[in-house]
A and B are shown apart, each in its own frame.
Chain A
C-alpha cells in the first residue's frame, strides 16, 4: 500500500510541506489537499515548498506539484521549492517544461440547433446519395462494356468465387427460410379460408403470392443482409488499409477488379436463389396443406396448375436481377464511403443493409405499378 499523501502548511515559517506517496493511486486525495492548502496561502508573498518527505512520485504527483506552483504564480506568490530529492528532479523538470495553457474546453452546442442542423444536412446528403448511386451504376456499366470488348480483362475466378459465396453457400438458408414462409402462409390461409369453405383457394394464395411477390422480396432482403453487408465490410476494410488506393496506383480500376465481379455474381445468383426459394416455398405450402389441411398432393398440384400462370412466375423472376443490381450498387457505394475508423465501418455496413432493403421494397412497388399498367 502506498503511504498516505499529506500537504501541510506551517504558518509561522510560511512553509508548505508535502509528504508521502504522490502517485496516480493517491491523486484523488492530493487534489482535495491542494484545494484546501491553497485556501490558506492567499495573501502571502513568499512560500517555501518543502518536498523532502515525498517518498514516491510519478507523473501524476509531479503534475500536482506543477499545478501548485502554477496556481501560486497566478496568485503572485513567490514559491521556492526546497530540498527536492535528487531522483525526482528530472521528472519535475520534464513536467515543468510542458505548456501552461489550460485544456481547450470541448464545445457544447445547443441540442435543438444540432438536431435542426442534422436535418438540414440530410437533404444535400440525399442528393449526394443519388449521385453516388448513379456514378457507381455508370462506372459499373463502363467497366462491363470494357470487359465485353476485351473479355480477357474479366476476372472470371473472382466472379466464380463470389458466385460460390453469395449463391451456392447461401442456398441452404434461403431454401429453409422460403420453405418456412411458404408453410406459414399456407397454414394461416387454411385457418382463415376454412371459415368461408374456400380451402382450395389457399393454393392460389400460396402460389401467386410466393411466385409473384414474397419469394423474390424475401430472397432479396436476405441477400441484402447476408451478401450486401459482407461486400460493404470487405470493400470498406480494403479502403481503410489503402488496398483500393494501391490498386489505383497500379493502373487498375477498382470498379473493374473488385466491384464488377461482385455485382455480376450477385446478379446471377439472385434469380437462381429466387427460383429455388420459390420451389421450396411451394413445397412448404403443399406439405402444410397436405398434413394440416388434409388436401392430397394430387389435388394441390392440379389446383396449382390452374391457379398459377407463367406470367406470375415471370413477374417474380424479372424483378430478381434488378434487385440484385440495387443491392450490389448500394453495397459498393457504402463500402467506398468508409473512413479510417472501425466505427465508420460498422456505420456504413448498417447503412448499406438498411438502404438496400428500403430500395428493394421501393423497387418492388415500382415494378407492381409497371406490371399492372402493361397488364401482366
Chain B
C-alpha cells in the first residue's frame, strides 16, 4: 500500500501580479522518487520553496507525514521535526566555509534527529559514496567544481537524515556524465535508506526515467500527474517536452 509522506492541497501563491501556484495539489509517496517537470516559470521551484517553508502560501495547506498541517511551520523546524530537506537551485552551499564545515551543519541536524553514532555512520557512508568529500575536506566550498558543489549540497542534506529529500534542478550546469554518476550514487544511497525524493528537473526525459511518479506543471498549475511511465506516454508531453510524437 502506498503511503503519502508529504501532501500539498489546493496551494495558491502569488508574487505581486504573478500567480506562481494555482490550486496545486501534490503528493509524495514514501520511498518513491516523484518528479516535477515543466518549463521555466512553471512554478516547480516555487512549489519546492513552499514545501521547505521559504515562502508562504496565500491559500491551501501542506501536510507532513502524519497528515498534520505544517503550512505555517518555519523552515528550520520542517527540517528538524519533519525531515524535509531541500537542496535548492544553485546548491545553497556556503562558499566561504570549508567542505567539512558545510557537512558539519548537516551532521548537527542528523544528531538532533537521530543520534551521534548514526550521524557518524552516515558521514562515513557518504564519504565512501563520494570520496571527493574526504579528499577536499579542508578546501573552501566555493573553490570546488560545479559537480563537486552539487555533491556537497546533496551530501549535506543527506547528513540531516531526512525523510524527504527535495532536489531542485540538481543537473543544472553539470556535464551529462557527472549527472549520471551523481544519480547512480544517489540511487545506491536510497537502496540502503528509506528515502523519499522529490526531483524538480527541466530535463524531462531524465526526470521521468529516474522517477516512479511524475507531475507536469504549466503556468503555476499541475496539468498532468500519475505514474512516470504513464505520464511519459502522454501525447501532449511527448510532443512538447520530449520532442517526439
- Asked whether A and B interact, the reply is no
Residues of B at the A interface (CB closer than 8 Å) are none
Residues of A at the B interface (CB closer than 8 Å) are none
